[in-house]
Amino acid sequence: MPDITNISKTYGEHRVLDHFSFRMEEGKTTCIMGRSGCGKTTLLRILMGLEKPDDDFGGHSELEALKKSAVFQEDRLCENLSVMANIRLTCPDRTKAQVLEEMGRVGLEGCESQPAHELSGGMKRRVALLRALLAPCDILFLDEPFKGLDEETKKKSIVYTAGACQGRTVLFVTHDEREARLMRAAAVISMDKEAADSRVSLAGENEACCREG
């Protein structure tokens, strides 16, 4: 996995990212944390190739060659398609039985034939999450993937997602340190400019946190 170096992005006179650099560990979850408006989503969009930085950055060509999957802050479902059809857009090789099994693990059993526009916000969020997790990819981007879920559903979804991400390269954005711990993040990168130490390892805290959960 390439080191990412010197990403800069400016909107008008506002400098959102200023030569931002970090390292992702292959096969591990790296968490990006920071307050709202600090540039977390902008960073992910640049890394996914959806937005252009001010200049080229280190690791760009290697990252560009990787197959990507993502959960955005918006659900981005095809509203008139069924839940099953939405999920299988990214994993057509999965059988319906396999998808149904995974749906049951995130509390989506029985809604496979419903069109997305009939779902609650929390159900849409889990469909978007499952669609990204089941897609074959080299790197998985998760931008506030548990946003809008109630506490019980969020906890179950995090536990499921953490298991599904084991052994995969994941870049996970959140503002909640507990989510980072439950996701078993190998490291947290803080984007808050006032942070004295931008990289904090959580490896030693994950086991205790999982027991607590």
Structure confidence by residue, pLDDT tens digits, 99-110: 999 999 999 999
pLDDT at residue 193 greater than cutoff 90: no
CA atoms of 196 and 204, how far apart (whole Å): 20
Q: What is the pLDDT of residues 16-67, one digit of tens each?
A: 999 999 999 999 999 999 888 888 999 999 999 999 999 999 999 999 999 9
Considering only CA atoms, which of 134, 56, 123, 126 is closest in space to residue 89?
Answer: 134
Each as own residue / partner, the long-range contacts of residues 41-50 (CB below 8 Å, 24 or more positions apart, any chain) are: 41/73, 41/143, 41/173, 42/9, 42/16, 42/17, 43/7, 43/17, 43/191, 44/70, 44/141, 44/143, 44/171, 44/173, 46/7, 46/9, 46/17, 47/4, 47/141, 47/171, 48/141
Are the C-beta atoms of 8 and 20 separated by less than 8 Å? yes
Q: What DSSP string runs through 12-62?
A: TTEEEEEEEEE-PPTTSEEEEE--TTSSHHHHHHHHTTSS--SS--BTHHH
pTM of the model as a whole = 0.87
pLDDT above 70 as % of the chain: 90
Which CATH number among 3.20.10.10, 3.30.43.10, 3.30.70.330, 3.40.50.300 corresponds to the domain 1-66+138-213? 3.40.50.300
pLDDT band at 195 (very low <50, low <70, confident <90, very high): very low
Locate the domains of the chain by residue range. 1-66+138-213, 78-137
